[in-house]
Chains A and B, each alone.
Chain A
């Protein structure tokens, strides 16, 4: 029901914006800076993208805009379809004349948009897609692809982050020695799994099996039974399109093995209710967590978002909020919205955002235009669902809880 209120408010603000535009048009000397936002609005993660963008734009505008120019967010719903997204992108470029686009958390959609970003010379940043292919394409064909920026961790870095965390919480604290990797079959998990298979042995965890499941799987019983028969110490996950169903079935079947890894849907605060609490004990990797002061900006943003939209921002809410700010910053530095100048300025971005310090790798890196990942830039956290709350368990500097597992989980003996 929350959704309805949101949209009503949305249409209210549309009317208000229209009224404002009609009234103030002649007074405003400078044209607004337009940022297009393309996302799937009916999913909770997707809705966080336009919401966070509006929040950032309102803040910037309240503080006087960018050199007197206001920021205007233009929203498009892509219904999670590549064709709809391409259409929206063309509209953004040719009809609405936006200056930059923030697009989608789905790798498939972003990969379809990427050539268009080059063809139409319209800078685009993705706040949530993970596939390494995005930045590899920029590296291989810089002249045409340089308009795309990867504003979220590339899959390889996601795996590395999970491994870094598992080394501490899994190997050192729980004495885990073996794992089964369970990922959904999708663009973003191909490099993710490849890196899992490399980095898990390095931290001393043997991978017994590697399962890729179809994203339209509804019955996970055979998968969990198969995994259980192999007796691993941990299930390392790579799931995003699926989430509620495997989690609920893991809980209902009382699979005695902990799940740790990437589980994008679990980052949303509504996940506990959607799974009827089955997510208790699940540990997921993320770049932001409620009530953790990873950066000075994180908690104020989370609070403002919750106050306005009633739920916590999903992971791509944080990245989108930062993106609007550093696009504005780049336009200010470039002194222009010319796409090539804007790309140059974005490449020089060094922005202290909610999730850390944001800089992009350069042309010589194989991860061209991907966010730099390391403790001094952006790095990951492990968060566990405990009693309906998301508690940070790693890294130790910011952890606010110790790991707790439901009674059906059997941890490896020391």
Chain B
């Protein structure tokens, strides 16, 4: 019953969001467009952490591989956007496998460490091969998805909704339950006959697929690809904060957290330099006092 109700609520919310271009300014749309892509980043991360129990400190490794692959293919051989995006996502999955197969042997914080180091390595490679990648400056792309705010907005909203539905569905499926079991007690899940590593690897691939897709789409929205926007540790940190803030193990909460972070940062813009301070403080307070995050807290209140 509650699942049906949840879907009803989400359907109405998405429908309302789709109407926004008729009512609000282009700027608000631009902001939400960015927030939706971040929402997909955060949801992909939550699948890995909330369900598989693996803390990936390097979401921007997967995002960055997808984004740079797509960007390079558009900048040099001038492939069409759709081909760049698909290849970018595939590259992200490949890089994810390369990282995950050895890394998943490691336990506890060490898995997280490897993923963090992966980001640093990727960043250094990009800067080192500045002649091809544009280094710290980044590359500008000849093509963009659209220069119309409403079109960009709808593309991002559709992308987030579909990704969210798939990820949410996966997390509620039998596979999701096995993942959750392996995340909480890998030994017991193994004893029940599930191949824990294989399931976690699959989760990593799915996470990489959506991160890479979203990263590639984002660069065609912004028209540039640079270390600061898709690879920097700061980007990954924002994704993690968004997911924890929205509520772990909820998938949809992660998207909510991402939208909150970006919109709050902008609403507080008149505070100038202090806006980041205030956003961080609010996030810290939520984590300390409402550790379930936005969605976790709402759901718990709803259940009572």
Chain A: residues with CB nearer than 8 A to chain B?
A: 7, 10-11, 14, 41-42, 75-77, 79, 81-83, 86-87, 90-91, 94-96, 107-108, 111-112, 114-116, 119-120, 185-187, 214-215
Contacts and interface: CB of A to CB of B under 8 A. Distances in A.
Nearest to B144: A119
Interface in B68-86: none
Contact of A7 (B30, B266, B272): B272
Contacts of B112: none
Contact of B31 (A42, A87, A108, A187): A87
Given A94-B30, A115-B223, A119-B144, A83 B136 contact: no
B118 to A, nearest CB: 19
A119 B276 CA distance: 29
A214 B127 CA distance: 10
Contacts of B273: 7, 41-42, 77
B162 interface: no
Most chain A CB within a 10 A radius of its CB, from B136, B149, B223, B269: B136
B136 A187 contact: yes
Contacts of B26: 90, 94-95
Contacts of B30: 87, 90-91, 94
A186 to B, nearest CB: 7
Given A87-B34, A90-B27, A82 B149 contact: no
Interface in B27-83: 27-28, 30-31, 34
Nearest to A92: B27
A108 B136 contact: yes
A14 B137 CA distance: 34
Given A41-B273, A90-B30, 17 more contacts: A42-B273, A76-B269, A77-B269, A77-B275, A79-B276, A82-B224, A86-B222, A94-B25, A108-B226, A111-B138, A116-B223, A119-B223, A185-B127, A185-B130, A187-B136, A187-B137, A214-B127
Given A90-B27, A91-B27, A77 B272 contact: yes
Contacts, number: 81
- Give the one of B30, B127, B137 with max A CB within 10 A: B137
A107 B223 contact: no
Most chain B CB neighbours (cut-off 10 Å) among A11, A77, A186 = A77
Interface in B223-237: 223-224, 226, 228-229
A86 B25 contact: no
Contacts of A7: 272-273
Interface of B: 25-28, 30-31, 34, 127, 130, 135-138, 140, 144, 147, 149, 222-224, 226, 228-229, 266, 269-270, 272-273, 275-276
Pick the most buried of A41, A75, A90, A107: most chain B CB atoms within 10 A of its CB.
A90
A103 to B, nearest CB: 14
A185 to B, nearest CB: 7
What are the nearest 7 A-B pairs in CB distance? A95-B27, A94-B26, A83-B229, A187-B137, A91-B27, A90-B30, A94-B27
Contacts of B127: 185, 214
Contact of B147 (A77, A86, A95, A120): A120
Given A86-B224, A87-B30, A94-B27, A111 B272 contact: no
Contacts of B27: 90-91, 94-96
Q: Which of B138, B224, B229 has the largest count of A CB atoms less than 10 A from its CB? A: B224
A112 B135 contact: no
A115 B137 contact: no
A82 B226 contact: yes
Nearest to A186: B136
Nearest to B27: A95
B136 A95 contact: no
23 contacts: A10-B272, A14-B270, A75-B272, A82-B226, A82-B228, A83-B229, A90-B27, A91-B27, A94-B25, A94-B26, A94-B27, A108-B137, A111-B137, A111-B138, A112-B138, A112-B140, A115-B223, A116-B223, A119-B144, A119-B147, A185-B127, A185-B136, A186-B137
B140 A115 contact: yes
A115 B136 contact: no
Nearest to B234: A81
A5 B144 CA distance: 42
A231 B222 CA distance: 48
B223 A82 contact: no
A95 B224 contact: no
Given A7-B272, A14-B270, A41-B272, A111 B140 contact: yes
A79, A81, A108, A214 — which one has the most chain B CB atoms within 10 A of its CB?
A108
Contacts of A82: 138, 224, 226, 228-229
B135 A115 contact: no
Nearest to B235: A83
A186 B273 CA distance: 25
B187 to A, nearest CB: 43
B25 A115 contact: no
A21 to B, nearest CB: 14
B106 to A, nearest CB: 28
Contacts of A115: 140, 223-224
Nearest to B274: A7
Contacts of A76: 269
A176 B266 CA distance: 53
Nearest to B33: A90
A77 B28 CA distance: 17
Nearest to B25: A95
A373 B24 CA distance: 46
B25 to A, nearest CB: 5
B224 A107 contact: no
A112 B272 contact: no
Contacts of A215: 136
Contacts of B149: 90, 94
Which of B223, B266, B273 has the most A CB atoms < 10 Å from its CB? Answer: B273
Contacts of B223: 86, 115-116, 119
A379 to B, nearest CB: 28
Contacts of B275: 77
B138 A95 contact: no
Nearest to B140: A115
B228 A83 contact: yes
A218 B273 CA distance: 25
A30 B26 CA distance: 24
Nearest to B226: A82
